[in-house]
C-alpha cells in the first residue's frame, strides 16, 4: 500500500510525547503527538486524507479506522500521529524539530500541550488488525512554544490572597516538621 507525505495546517498540540516515548499502550513506548485543528484546517487535512483513502484498495471501506476524532468543542478535530521509530526520533542526533524560520534549534525545546505546531506526516495504509490509515510523524515545526513542566500555569492576579513569607515549600513525602504543640485530632 502506498504512502503519501503531508504537512498539516497549524494546530494546537495535546498529549505530546516527543522527548520521551508514551508507554501507556505500548511497553516499548511510542513517540506521538495529537494536533487539534479548527474546521478550516481540518477541511484541508480531510481533503488530502480522502484522496489518499480513495486511492487505496480496501476490503470494506466503510469500516476503516481513520487517524482523527471529532472533539466535543464545536468544530474542532484531533488528528493522531506517531513515530514509526523506536529510537529517539527527536534528539540532538536526529534533528526533526524546526522553528518558524525552518532552522533546527540548538537546544531541544520541551514542547508541551497548547503549543502551536505544524506536523510533517506520512499517510500510511495498513491492513493488519483491521484496516485503516495511520499518520507517521516525521518532523515538527514549532510556531508558538508552550514548554511543559517547571513553570506555574497560573498568571499573576492583582487582587486576592498573598501568602506570608515562604516557609520552604510543601514537605516531601516522609519529611515532617517538628513542633512542640500537641495536635488536637
Domain containing 122 — which CATH number?
2.40.50.140
Question: Does residue 89 lie within any of the structural domains?
Answer: yes
- What's the average model confidence in pLDDT over 61-66? 90
Residues 6+ apart with CB under 8 A from 68: 42, 45, 46, 49, 77, 78, 79, 80
Question: Does residue 88 lie within any of the structural domains?
Answer: yes
Question: Does residue 151 lie within any of the structural domains?
Answer: no
Of 122, 101, 119, which Cα lies nearest the Cα of 111? 119
Question: Does residue 169 lie within any of the structural domains?
Answer: no
- What's the average model confidence in pLDDT over 137-166? 72
Lowest mean pLDDT among 38-42, 138-142, 168-172: 168-172
Domain that holds residue 70: 3-144
Number of domains in the chain: 1
DSSP assignments along 121-136, one per residue = EEEEEE-SSS-EEEEE
Query: Considering the chain, what is the average pLDDT of its residues?
Result: 79
117/30 Cα distance (integer angstroms):
19
Band of pLDDT at residue 38, cut at 50, 70 and 90? very high
Of residues 18 and 93, more confidence is placed in: 18
Question: Does residue 172 lie within any of the structural domains?
Answer: no
Question: Does residue 35 lie within any of the structural domains?
Answer: yes
pLDDT of residue 114: 93
Stated pTM of the model: 0.73
Q: For 68-94, how does the pLDDT look when each residue is reduced to its tens digit (9 = 90+)?
A: 999 987 889 999 999 866 655 555 566
Question: Does residue 157 lie within any of the structural domains?
Answer: no
pLDDT of residue 37: 97
- For the four alpha carbons of 41, 44, 45 and 47, in that order, the dihedral sign comes to positive
Percent of the chain past pLDDT 70, that is, above it, reads 70
Question: Does residue 176 lie within any of the structural domains?
Answer: no
67/80 Cα distance (integer angstroms):
5
Amino acid at each position: 500500500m502506498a504512502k503519501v507525505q503531508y504537512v498539516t495546517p497549524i494546530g494546537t498540540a495535546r498529549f505530546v510525547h516527543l522527548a520521551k516515548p508514551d508507554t501507556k499502550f505500548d511497553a516499548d513506548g511510542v513517540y506521538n503527538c495529537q494536533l487539534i485543528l479548527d474546521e478550516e484546517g481540518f477541511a484541508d487535512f480531510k481533503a488530502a486524507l480522502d484522496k489518499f483513502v480513495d486511492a487505496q484498495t480496501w476490503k470494506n471501506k466503510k469500516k476503516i479506522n481513520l487517524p482523527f476524532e471529532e472533539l466535543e468543542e464545536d468544530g474542532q478535530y484531533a488528528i493522531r500521529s506517531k513515530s514509526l521509530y523506536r529510537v529517539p526520533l527527536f534528539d540532538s542526533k536526529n534533528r526533526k524539530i524546526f522553528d518558524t524560520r525552518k532552522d533546527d534549534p540548538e537546544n531541544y525545546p520541551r514542547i508541551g500541550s497548547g503549543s502551536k505546531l505544524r506536523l510533517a506526516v506520512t499517510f500510511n495504509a495498513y491492513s493488519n488488525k483491521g484496516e485503516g490509515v495511520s499518520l507517521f510523524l516525521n518532523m515538527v515545526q514549532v510556531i508558538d512554544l508552550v514548554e511543559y513542566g517547571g513553570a506555574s500555569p497560573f498568571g499573576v492576579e492583582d487582587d486576592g490572597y498573598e501568602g506570608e513569607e515562604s516557609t520552604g515549600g510543601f514537605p516531601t513525602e516522609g519529611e515532617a516538621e517538628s513542633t512542640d504543640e500537641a495536635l488536637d485530632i
